[in-house]
Amino acid sequence: MYLTEENINKNPFKQFEIWFEEAKKIGLKDPNAMNVASATKNGVPSSRMVLLKAYSEEGFIFYTNYTSRKSGEIFDNPIVALNFFWDALERQIRIEGEIKKVEKEVSDAYFNSRSRLSQLGAHASNQSQVIENYEELTNKLNSFDEQYKDADIPRPDHWGGFIVIPSSIEFWQGHDGRLHDRLKFEKENNNWVLKRLSP
């Protein structure tokens, strides 16, 4: 299927929803997996895979440890890029924009929906920090499990959500001969402007 200026939804968030739902419908594993690329204030890049947990016309939300490498880079340089790639559909979506913490209430609500093990893991893991061995991690996990055995597990202050507020969203549809469709929405004067890019 070709992606044209006529058949693309003129609202990039609606177009994202259409493609995202199609990726889920064909049974892809973790269709919400996305690459998050960040950089230090000196421009040194890094990237990693995370899971999209919510989206709306406000932006795209994922959750992480606020003391991790990615978070340190985000706090120093709050411009990031996201990339979804669905090989079975020959599609990718590239998103660039500003990133900021979500409200505490949003992080609390999502944290409370997680499994007990995931909640304990958020307490036990000092993400991106060097540890002596895996046993160190499991010992901390067991310690928190004992601490909260008869209580609800609170969200740690160092864990929560980020929202990416896009300034551009590009939809890429692959074709034979590398003559791909690339349609890009860019925010200009608070309006989305659609442009076609050469593949």
Catalytic residues: 178
50 by Cβ neighbours in 10 Å (0-12 / 13-18 / 19+) ranks as: middle
The two most distant CA atoms of the chain are separated, in Å, by 61
177 sits in the region (left: phi over 0; alpha: psi -120 to 50; else beta) called: left
Query: Which residues are bridge partners to 165 per DSSP?
Result: 98
Angle at 114 between CA 29 and CA 111, to 5 degrees: 120
The residue ranges of DSSP E strands in the chain, in sequence order, are: 33-39, 45-51, 54-56, 59-65, 79-86, 91-101, 159-173, 181-188, 191-196
Nearest CA among 1, 2, 10 for reference residue 195: 10
For residue 54, give both structure tokens.
């919510």
